[in-house]
Amino acid sequence: MVGNSIAPNSTLCSVFGTLHQYSINASSCWSFMIALHCYVIVIHNPKLASSLWRYYIIYGFGMPALLTIALYISQAILNRGTVTGDADYQCWIASQYPELRVILYFPLLWLHFLGILFFYLRILVMIQTRTRELASSQDKTNIDEGLLAVKSDGADTSRSTIPASQSFSGPATNPNPVTHQIISGDFSPEASIAHQLPRYSSPIKHKHNPNVNEPAVPSRLTVTESAPAAKMISSRNKLITKTFIVSVGCLISWIPATAVRVLLIIPGSKVPFWLSYLMALGFSLSGLFNSTAFLVGILWEKWPKTRPKANGGVDSLS
């Protein structure tokens, strides 16, 4: 909102430029430490993450302060006039010190960006690994339960009174191949989710003659993904979305600005108008992407989605 309209007032511009130098570096530092904090919690443990708060505070307040003090140390050494002034779009580092615009901001910014990407990708790999382990463990549990159910129902069926002339269609006469694999020992855990294991209900007493059992009725046990595995998958998808938003936002906001500032320190180079336009657009959008990523994280669990049954993988009996 202020822009460079206060540039003619050297005192006010110096105050604003100093605050701007501190705030943009502080924003970069704290974004990096948020990602670092999440990384330590997920990869290591929350207790270790909590013990690092003093270092977060020292870095988050200390590094921007050092880079701001460096402005005035450079002014004293280089002696080219006041270090703060009109920086095209705001009061910041004056045009007499173009190299300081690069050295005192952009290297740290891009190091933080790479660090944030590393932390989020490492967390993503961790979640993916845990999801597979959890799904594999749940698969084995489901297979054992399904096998016990098949054996139990087979014993119940053998005690049922079934006329020799009566036959069943479907699973009774055409056994499910998955069941055959379970009994024969050829079944793989990875193939268990969403398969259906044939079951037979226990014999039912005849409604007119209690001493006579009705034939066993075929039924099915449906095995689905467990709720913990689905929750891990949801966390993975949320992290992918947030990482994508933050990454794309940083590239859109700061690549044009970095290019312009580098061109300005190269003798004889000229900044094209379209690049300056993209730089202004990137500045105006720089605060949008981080806030959008946090909003996505808050609203993710509230969005309607299909959720699995929280009963350890057994969805229904029919």
Work out the average pLDDT over 231-241: 78
pLDDT in tens, 107-151: 999 999 999 999 989 988 888 888 777 777 766 666 656 666 655
Mean pLDDT, rounded, for 252-279: 88
Q: Is the pLDDT of residue 70 over 90?
A: yes
- Under 8 Å between Cβ of 101 and 92: yes
User: What pLDDT, on the 0 to 100 scale, is given for residue 282?
Assistant: 85
On the question of pLDDT at 174 being above 60, the answer is no
Chain centroid to Cα 105, Å, comes to 27
Confidence bin at 166 (pLDDT 50/70/90): very low
Among 42-56, 102-116, 141-155, 215-229, the range scoring the smallest mean pLDDT is 215-229
Cβ-based neighbours of 88, under 8 Å, separated by 6 or more: 4, 276
Q: What is the pLDDT of residues 80-101, one digit of tens each?
A: 999 998 887 778 999 899 999 9
